[in-house]
Amino acid sequence: MDNPFEFHEEDAIIACVGENGGTTDEDIRNGFKRTVELLTESLKDGQEVEDLLVYPIVYNARHSIELSLKIVIKMLWEIEGKKGIKYSDEIIAERKKKIHTHNIEELYKMACENKNIDRRIPAYFENIEDMIQFYYFDEEGDAFKYELNKDDQPHMIKNKISHISIELLETEFKEVMKKFDDLICFLESCVDEYSLGTFTKSLSRVDIWEISKKLPAYEEWSTEKFKEVKEQIKQEYRLGSKELSDALNLIKEHRLFSTNIGCEKIFGTVTEDELKEYASLVKCYEEKDKSKEKIDCFTGSVLPDVLQNKFQAGNGSVPSPACDRSIFS
């Protein structure tokens, strides 16, 4: 017999996994989620038997939820790391051990332990537990894999389950997956945001940006108006004087945020005239040749020779087109 877990060129359908395609928890989660969709759809035309497909349908739905929670927990841990929060080797080992459980209720509690790492995250958790609590009875994740549990008791009879509404399950499953999709997407953006290093103990980059817009011009920071604004900000964001001071210092020194208080940060030794000439050259070459072989002005991956030579005589570096990550981080 040929091994199906090896490459066979004559096969018409070959899946790429591992080092050949990438196998992530998100890929696996999407696969289980899609299986639920395909199986429930197959029942609607009456060609399949619900009493048989109910087991893979519920198992795949439940496992999609389990994987979603594990992805969320790992991303919350990653945000902790970006914020410089450290744990002992013993605690790290214990957390890694705990996350291997199949118990959805325990996984949800683990996720909730870290959801306050950013003040925006808890809102994405709203109503999730209401949707997943119906799966809590299946603590080992095997109720729809086997007839009997490890004590030789029938899963369905032990849990007093005699009917399963597949249409209702499908509707609620789609709703909770949408909630997880939104949560995971937001956590991904948080990881990117905290990677920029612009945050304090309880303030995110977005928080600090919003605070910078509430502040008066820097020249007014010695006035009573500034004191009043500071007190309002402390109350709104529940900040102590030390953390607010840290945020204000960050705003003053930040190239982007400082513009909201009327402070301009000069770009090194590149003069304004040089930047204007750079912009005019980029525009000129865009108009002359639209192909990416000549210029990619937004990524800065290719620069015309004439533009390169223009700035080599100065400080030895060519200013690259501005982007939030490279200039304003």
Q: What is the pLDDT along the chain (329 residues), one digit of tens a residue?
A: 999 999 999 999 999 999 888 789 999 999 999 999 999 999 998 889 999 999 999 999 999 999 999 999 999 999 999 999 999 999 999 999 999 999 999 999 999 999 999 999 999 999 999 999 999 999 999 999 999 999 999 999 999 999 999 999 999 999 999 999 999 999 999 999 999 999 999 999 999 999 999 999 999 999 999 999 999 999 999 999 999 999 999 999 998 999 999 987 776 677 888 888 989 998 888 877 665 444 444 444 444 444 444 444 444 444 433 334 333 33
Which range marks the domain in which residue 232 is found? 205-261
- Where a domain ends, among 195, 222, 249? 195
pLDDT attached to residue 287:
78
pLDDT attached to residue 299:
41
Residue 243 half-sphere exposure toward CB, CA atoms < 13 A = 17
- Statement to judge: residues 150 and 173 lie in one domain: yes
- Statement to judge: residues 162 and 45 lie in one domain: yes
Nearest to 249, CA basis, from 290, 284, 282, 218: 218
pLDDT attached to residue 16:
92
Number of domains in the chain: 3
d(CA 54, CA 209): 50
Residue 214: inside a domain: yes
- In the beta sheet, which residues pair with residue 148? 154
Inter-axis angle of helices 166-195 and 50-82, nearest 10: 20
DSSP state for residue 148 in the 8-state scheme:
B
pLDDT attached to residue 119:
95
Kindly report the number of other CB atoms within 10 A of residue 172's CB atom.
Answer: 16
Contact indicator for 176, 154 with CB cutoff of 8 Å: no
Both tokens of 311, joined, read: 């700035």
Residue 164 half-sphere exposure toward CB, CA atoms < 13 A = 21
d(CA 77, CA 302): 38
- Statement to judge: residues 91 and 209 lie in one domain: no
- Statement to judge: residues 60 and 182 lie in one domain: yes
Residue 139: inside a domain: yes
- Statement to judge: residues 163 and 211 lie in one domain: no
pLDDT attached to residue 283:
87
- Statement to judge: residues 162 and 183 lie in one domain: yes
pLDDT attached to residue 22:
77
Residue 151: inside a domain: yes
pLDDT attached to residue 292:
47
Contact indicator for 75, 68 with CB cutoff of 8 Å: no
- Statement to judge: residues 39 and 160 lie in one domain: yes
d(CA 168, CA 53): 15
d(CA 59, CA 169): 12
- Statement to judge: residues 44 and 191 lie in one domain: yes
Residue 301: inside a domain: yes
pLDDT attached to residue 46:
86
Question: What is the full DSSP assignment across 79-131?
Answer: HHHHTT----HHHHHHHHHHTT---HHHHHHHHHHHGGGSTTSGGGGTTHHHH
d(CA 109, CA 48): 37
Q: Is 266 exposed, middle or buried (0-12, 13-18, 19+ CB in 10 A)?
A: exposed
Contact indicator for 114, 80 with CB cutoff of 8 Å: yes
Both tokens of 312, joined, read: 């080599």
**Distances in Å between the alpha carbon of 8 and those of 11, 16, 23, 102, 327?**
6, 12, 20, 35, 49
Contacts of residue 29, defined as CB under 8 A and 6 or more positions apart, other chains included, come to 64, 67, 68, 71
Please give the span between the terminal C-alpha atoms of the chain, in angstroms, as a whole number: 57
Residue 1: inside a domain: no
**What single letter denotes the amino acid at residue 256?**
L
pLDDT attached to residue 45:
86
